[in-house]
Amino acid sequence: MKTTLSFALLNLCMLLYINTLAQSTKALSIDSVTKKVTITEIVKVDSSINSDELYRIIKEWFASDVGKFQRSSSEKASALTDGLIGSTKKDLATLDLSFKNDNPLKMDDPKDRKLIGRVICKYFGTSMGCIRLIYATFDIKVQIKENRYKCDFSNFNYSHFNHYTSKKMPIFIAVDSGPCKSSGAIEELMDCQYCSDGLEKFYAYIHNEVKSLTSDLKAFIESNKSESNW
């Protein structure tokens, strides 16, 4: 009896350890306080740029190239869509229009030196896999103080589609409910027990796109600071 109980406890401990390890290796993590996925970065800038000028430069960054706020895992696009023809390809184009992001800057407050923008990412899975086509949306909030700014990425949501029909589809399961449902908050999706490898790749893609945006903003500020201090 003791042997059986010890073996059961050992199995339980191993399962808890594996689950904890899996959670810790996710590219995205849920904040223990807010229970939301949030990615934050605080960046110091050159002391020659005052906060008003920094605000102006960052606002200009939001307007400089809307394409950076309408992102895509384009290296996978042709492999997934080249075989589509006729109405199927037309439906996919219509779907793209419904996620168009022509005006990424949603709010700017010069008094509090705060800007909020929207980012849309189009992620391609595989043609026969459990992840097909995901449109992910999230916010970027930039707050400015003297010689520094803070980027907060939050409100991550997703919509999963069958690229052949352009219809929403749940992930792996047949019923469109629960954590694997076709659309919702990414925090809920992270409880999905299916398609772990495909979802991990999707989370890594989102994390990399966030890092790419923060790097792009740093470079834009660096390249524009000389123009504002001539």
Domains of the chain: 35-228 (3.30.530)
DSSP labels, 194-215:
S-HHHHHHHHHHHHHHHHHHHH
Choice between 136 and 24, residue whose per-residue pLDDT is larger: 136
Backbone angles phi, psi at 39, to 5 degrees: -115, 125
Q: Name every residue whose Cβ is closer than 8 Å to that of residue 148 and which is 6 or more positions away in sequence.
A: 42, 43, 44, 45
Query: Over the stretch 40-52, which tens digit does the pLDDT of each residue have?
Result: 999 999 888 999 9
Backbone angles phi, psi at 229, to 5 degrees: -130, 45
Closest to 125 in 3D by CA, of 158, 176, 77: 77
Query: Over the stretch 137-154, which tens digit does the pLDDT of each residue have?
Result: 999 999 999 999 999 999
